[in-house]
Amino acid sequence: MCQRCNYAELLESCGLEPIPNRMRVLEVIGENASPLSAQDIFMTVSRTGGINRVTVYRILDLLVEKGLVDRLSSPGRSQMYGMAPNPNHPAHPHFHCRTCGAVQCLQPESVKVEMETLERTFAGEVQAVEIRLEGICRNCLKRA
Amino acid sequence: MCQRCNYAELLESCGLEPIPNRMRVLEVIGENASPLSAQDIFMTVSRTGGINRVTVYRILDLLVEKGLVDRLSSPGRSQMYGMAPNPNHPAHPHFHCRTCGAVQCLQPESVKVEMETLERTFAGEVQAVEIRLEGICRNCLKRA
DNA sequence: CCATTTTATGCAACTATGTTGCATTGAAAC
DNA sequence: GTTTCAATGCAACATAGTTGCATAAAATGG
Ligand SMILES: [Mn+2]
Ligand SMILES: [Mn+2]
Ligand SMILES: [Zn+2]
Ligand SMILES: [Zn+2]
């Protein structure tokens, strides 16, 4: 996904030592074009050497807490993880195929959100906006 | 939530017999001001007489499949259920408090979505759009 | 009305995802 | 080198949701 991101720097920029497991998890997330489940990440990281499932969950919690990674809700039972918006990666909506379950990142500007009314009237503090589209993906449309 | 919805009619309108358990589940969803988890629904329905947890899940699957109810993703491990948009209930965004976990329905017009670019360029078929806001709710702001 | 078929329900067992407690290891700090 | 603290692994647990199968309740057809 990203030739521009230096994962060690990203970790350091939020006070995390760039130790091997953190680097491995963050790289897997960063190099993939669409968000991955914890399971996906665990299996991918495992291919390059041992790591415990729990360690992956703990690293994910840490990366989300520090704001490097976004935890995205999904229509299934698991959550998904993708790079949080940063100067190289603007926030963008996601599309979930109801037929095959695939998730795609959409262009940042393909869906625009107008929140003026909300900002003027909402008494809480909005910290993030997630836009999820559901439907049938290109591939599944062809097959049908 | 709704004085205008006739739940039996709604069920019939999509080919489902308005049998008691379906009615009880749909009423609980319809009369609540914000989406509920399957667990919430099970406990609420249980107060008015016996029902099995699995039966609730099966009814929820059915109502979602028929489009009467929307399954909303949540930041936690469970999904939430609310009335699907219909003439009495326009689609609207939801707000999830990161501190207390509460979910609120927002005004339908408080957040506007502009999808022209997407519609012009996206090769799949978009069937639904979910807008989720996260942050700190009014109550939690006060407490902090 | 009874017999047959279909649909809904309950229960137990299971799967998937994520979490916790605790012991062990490994890397800083002194 | 010893102490200290963070990171890891492992087992056990928790929670949400699913499946298979038997039973009960409706609907259907005489
Ligand atoms: Mn993405
Ligand atoms: Mn709502
Ligand atoms: Zn698809
Ligand atoms: Zn709150």
B15 touches strand C (CB under 7 A): no
CATH number, residue B46: 1.10.10.10
Question: Do B51 and B121 share a domain, yes or no?
Answer: no
Which 3 state secondary structure label does DSSP give B7?
helix
CB–CB of A32/A25 below 8 Å?
A: no
CB–CB of B67/B84 below 8 Å?
A: yes
B50 touches strand C (CB under 7 A): yes
Contact call for A95 and B136, based on CB within 8 A? no
Residue with tokens 């629904």: B41
pLDDT greater than 80 at residue A72: yes
pLDDT on residue B3: 65
Above pLDDT 70, what percent of chain B? Answer: 98
CB–CB of A106/A130 below 8 Å?
A: no
Find the DSSP H helices in chain A. 7-13, 20-31, 38-46, 53-65, 116-121, 138-143
Question: Do A49 and A18 share a domain, yes or no?
Answer: yes
Question: For B10-45, how does the pLDDT look when each residue is reduced to its tens digit (9 = 90+)?
Answer: 999 999 999 999 999 999 999 999 999 999 999 999
Contact call for B124 and A138, based on CB within 8 A? yes
Question: For B81-128, how does the pLDDT look when each residue is reduced to its tens digit (9 = 90+)?
Answer: 999 999 888 999 999 999 999 999 999 999 999 999 999 999 999 999
Tell me the chain A residues in contact with residue B73 when contact means C-beta distances shorter than 8 Å: 73-75, 132
pLDDT on residue A3: 66
Question: For A89-112, how does the pLDDT look when each residue is reduced to its tens digit (9 = 90+)?
Answer: 899 999 999 999 999 999 999 999
Question: For A10-63, how does the pLDDT look when each residue is reduced to its tens digit (9 = 90+)?
Answer: 999 999 999 999 999 999 999 999 999 999 999 999 999 999 999 999 999 999
Tell me the chain A residues in contact with residue B134 when contact means C-beta distances shorter than 8 Å: 126-130
Q: pTM here?
A: 0.93
Question: Do B8 and B69 share a domain, yes or no?
Answer: yes
pLDDT greater than 80 at residue B2: no
End-to-end CA gap in chain A? 30
pLDDT on residue A1: 55
Candidates A89, A93, A88; CA nearest to A111 is A93
pLDDT on residue B105: 95
Candidates B52, B73, B40, B140; CA nearest to A35 is B73
Residue with tokens 């003027």: A120
Query: What residues make up the domain containing A72?
Result: 1-84
Pairing outcome for strands A94-97 and A103-105: antiparallel
CATH number, residue A143: 3.30.1490.190
Number of domains in chain B: 2
